[in-house]
Amino acid sequence: MRMYDLIIKKKQGAPLSAEEIRFMIDGYTKGEIPDYQMSAMMMAICFRGMNEEETFELTHAMAESGDMLDLSAIRGIKVDKHSTGGVGDKTSLALTPIVASCGVKIAKMSGRGLGHTGGTIDKLESITGFHTDISTDTFIRNVNEIGIAIMGQTKDLAPADKKLYALRDVTGTVDQMSLIASSIMSKKLAAGADAIVLDVKTGSGAFMKKKEDSFALAREMVAIGKSAGRKMTAVISNMDEPLGRKVGNAMEVEEAIDTLMGKGPEDFTELVETLGAYMLKAGGITPDADEAVKMIREAVSSGKALDKFAEFVKAQGGNEKEVYDPSLLPKSRIVRELKSEEAGYIGKIECEEVGISAMILGGGRKVSTDTIDPSVGIELLKKCGDRVEKGEPYAVIHANDEGKLEECVKRLAASYTFTDRKPEKLPTITGVIE
């Protein structure tokens, strides 16, 4: 079998067999197939596509290219959650302790962010002492004892995906449906959960800008997971404006804590409750969605969810005092308000531009070696549909560098569009696929 022949076969639109896909992934992972040949294959797939069987085989080949995490020592159904990412997406920080406090086992692998703000791990590391470099034994023990643990993805988990994604990132072959689905699901299958709830974003700040593309991606990932014997649900949620009101690592931790105290923004709270309800159903806690939401709200109002977050933070070396007093979290040196030059309504916010504005401040990474400043970020006082008067502040920038602040001010101000007529509010949840 030769890679050259497989490239020609895919270029001509023919499907690759399971054996051919295994040969390709195994050879590339071992370094036997060079980047230039795999680049040609990725481009051929972008033009010719992959059928459902090919996508399934590619996912499994990448998942099995390294370690497959064995979670059988964890009692009960293990439920994982994955988001396709977005601006202000701190969902895991509030969601996982809530569902864990309701009895669902959360054994989650997360990553660092490359782009707007940090990933889940970067945000959690805003808490003094918190770390995710724990052993698999500690990870399993923590899930059994307190119901939740989050660790960094090991280098041996789906190594083919890491190598392939880096190649796709520099060859213009990221945005192909089967490649996206197999990349996400290979890591989820390797991570060993019994059930997976997906939060698939749609809109200007999401990877999938069009609603129909987001639904297609969700259906493809659900089909892959079900074929692998996993319980699957995908929630399609809005990312035409930032989620919640805070964008930035420590600021997002603070907003997640507010939500655990029952004081979170309306859109973020709705998303957390929706995803949480499906996680409780997948975990066998209750088959009824209304009952699940009721349990979630009780966990928040009683303080159980916040206590579970503190317990989880302490178990992974963090200072639990910061959970109960978020004012102890890192704070920026400079605070600047953006004030409206006219009266009217917020008609549109270019979501991705808000994310880039936060990255300019130091809240995200342009390249993987960049260091994140956990204290910087943006607070959106006004969002789409909100009324604003002339001279009234609509956003607050938290910065530590005057030069970066000025660049951020220009970019953030340009991301807002004001209108005379109140626009229609976009729904937080666009759809669900089970």
* Ramachandran quadrant class, 285 (left: phi over 0; alpha: psi -120 to 50; beta: rest): alpha
Pairing of strands 195-202, 231-238: parallel
DSSP 303-357: THHHHHHHHHHHHTT--THHHH-GGGS---SEEEEEE-SS-EEEEEE-HHHHHHH
Distance CA 111, CA 88 (A): 16
* Ramachandran quadrant class, 91 (left: phi over 0; alpha: psi -120 to 50; beta: rest): alpha
The DSSP output letter for 163 is H
Closest by CA position to 87, among listed 378, 340, 335: 378
The residues annotated as belonging to the active site are 82, 161, 168, 183, 187
Per DSSP, the three-state class of 6 is: helix
Tokens encoding 367: 């390249």
- Cβ neighbours of residue 14 closer than 8 Å, sequence gap 6 or more: none
DSSP 260-303: HTT---HHHHHHHHHHHHHHHHHTTS-S-HHHHHHHHHHHHHTT
The DSSP output letter for 156 is T
H or E element at residue 388: strand 387-388
Closest by CA position to 94, among listed 59, 61, 136, 123: 123
Tokens encoding 422: 């109140």
